[in-house]
Amino acid sequence: MTMPSIVSRESTQNKAVQIQLDQVEKKFGELTVLNKLSLEIKAGEFVAIVGKSGSGKSTLLRLIAGLETPTSGFINFDDTTIKESKQSARMMYQDSRLLPWKSVVDNVGLGLKGNWVKRAENTLDYVGLLSYKNEWPSTLSGGQQQRVALARALVHQPSLLLLDEPLSALDALTRMEMQNLIENLWLEHGFTALLVTHDVREAVKLGDRIILIEDGKINLNIKNKAKRPRELSNASQALMEKNILEQIMNGN
């Protein structure tokens, strides 16, 4: 099946951002959520961040998104500061956050200027939902809503896609479909992707690198060089999953 491309190939590549976190600390009152955390993310890399609830993984994502400011430390994007690069970062949440008062295509076009309808429609076609363009979001299933949210993020051709547990509310089958969709989009467009998840298997399936955050610190930082698409039953992948899970369980 050939998929319609959102934009021509030349403009999709090399539009990825490199991120550097230097001694980033985040406190909410007395509580230290991120503890002098340093991390380097290469342009075009797919980094999966795992950790228990309350480990600080979502806070890390929100800091990178510019939705929170670090208490101390720096976040640099290709040598530009957070505010400038925020323009080309897009975020997907656990809930789709589609505006219920806008049709599907108007949701995708949110924040676009000029003659955007064709672009929005192409992107909807890409996620396989063009025929739903005039529906209200409430009539769509959870998986379809997340597809629309994905289209809404992609239509801006982001150089950085931030995924905050976007698939955790979906059923297993839909989740696998969405994982493949995200992987294909990332392979084609080459943006930098940051996925926060509590599903270790998902992290192993998608990440070039899997980072485990515990108590605001990075306790594991593993590269995954397996070829894509990855077989979950593959022995080395299963072992990696097991090791990470063990570290989470025995960590504290």
Partner 1 sequence: MRANFSKQLVPWIVPALIIVAWQLFSMYEIVSSQLVPSPWTVLSSAYQLVVSGELFYHMQGSLARAFVGLLIGGGIGFIMGISNGLSNISFQLSDTTLQMIRNVPNLALVPLVIIWFGIDEGAKIFLVSISVMFPVYINTLHGIRNIDPGFIEMGRMYDLKGWHLFKEILLPGALPSIFVGLRYALGSMWLTLIIAETIATSRGIGYLAMTAQQFMQSDIIIITIILYALLGKLADLLARWGEKKALRWHKNYAH
Interacting residues toward partner 1 by CB under 8 A: 65, 67, 87, 89-91, 93, 95, 97, 99-102, 110-111, 136, 138, 152, 156
Nearer to partner 1, 94 or 219 (CB): 94
Nearer to partner 1, 67 or 239 (CB): 67
Please return the burial class of 185, using the count of CB atoms within 10 Å of its CB with bins 0-12, 13-18 and 19+.
Answer: buried
In whole angstroms, the minimum distance from the beta carbon of 162 to partner 1 comes to 9
Nearer to partner 1, 100 or 114 (CB): 100
- The per-residue DSSP string of 178-240 comes to HHHHHHHHHHHH--EEEEE-S-HHHHHHH-SEEEEEETTEEEEEEE----SSPPTT-HHHHHH
In whole angstroms, the minimum distance from the beta carbon of 166 to partner 1 comes to 13
In whole angstroms, the minimum distance from the beta carbon of 190 to partner 1 comes to 21
The candidate with the shortest Cα–Cα distance to 150, out of 172, 173, 125, 131, is 125
Please answer whether residues 93 and 170 qualify as being in contact, where contact means their C-beta atoms are separated by less than 8 angstroms: no
Nearer to partner 1, 146 or 224 (CB): 146
In whole angstroms, the minimum distance from the beta carbon of 138 to partner 1 comes to 6
